[in-house]
Amino acid sequence: MSDFDTLFKNYHHSLFVYALKFVADEEVALDLVQDVFTLIWEKKKLKLDDEHLKAYLFRSIRNACLNYLKHQQVVSQYQQFQGIKEMELLYYRDGEQSLIEKENLDRIYQAIHSLSDIHREVIELSRFEGLKNKEIAEALNVPLRTVETRLFRALSALREKLSEKLFHIFLNFCCLKNKVKKLSN
C-alpha cells in the first residue's frame, strides 16, 4: 500500500466531517476533500512528517471550505441582482413605462434608425434578436470578421450619438429584451 493510500484511509473521514461543519452539504464536503487530496497528490506533499501533514490537510480543508463559502456568497448576490432584473422585466413587459422612459427609448430608436442599413441590421440581429455573431454571419452570408467589424462600428456610432446614460440604457434594454424572449420560449 502506498503512502498516499494510507494517508487517504487515515484522514478522509475526519476531513470530511471537518468540512461538513463548514459547508453543511455532504456532496460539497466530499468534493472539497477530494480536491485537497488531489492537490496533495499533484504537489507531492507526502514528504512532510505526520504532524505537519495533518495540520496541512486540515488547514487546506478549512481554506477550501472558506473559499467555497465566499464563492457561494458572490453567487447569492448575483442571484439577488438577477431577481431585481427579473422584476424590471415584468415591469417593462406590463407596459408601465413612464413618459421619460418612453422618450429615452424613442431617442435610442432614432439613433439606431440613423445608422447605415448594414450597421442597423447587425445591431438589430445582435441586440434585439439575440443572435450570436456566428449566427448573424450565416444569416447574412458574410464572414464572421465582417459581422464583428460592423457591430463594433455600429456600437461606436451609437456611443457617439447617444449620451453615456442613454447608451447604457440601450445596452441594458437589449439584455432585458433578450431575457424576456428567453423566458417566454
Please report the domains of the chain, with CATH numbers, ordered by start residue. Answer: 3-86 (1.10.1740), 97-184 (1.10.10.10)
pLDDT of residue 179: 58
- Strand locations in the chain (E): none
User: With 60 as the cut, is the pLDDT of residue 178 above it?
Assistant: no
| Report field, pTM of the whole predicted structure over 0.75 | no
Query: Cell 442613454 sits at which residue?
Result: 166
Least confident of 20-29, 84-93, 147-156, 163-172: 84-93
Query: Is the separation of the CB atoms in 70 and 23 below 8 Å?
Result: no
Give the span between the Cα atoms of 16 and 61, in whole angstroms.
9
Selection from 11-20, 74-83, 105-114, 120-129 with the highest mean pLDDT:
11-20
8 A C-beta contact, residue 158 and residue 115? yes
More confident residue, 76 or 85: 76
Q: Give residues with Cβ within 8 angstroms of 172, minimum separation 6.
A: none
Residues 165, 170, 175, 177, CA torsion sign: positive
- Cβ burial of 136 (10 Å; 0-12, 13-18, 19+) is buried
- CA–CA dist 153, 158 (Å, integer): 9
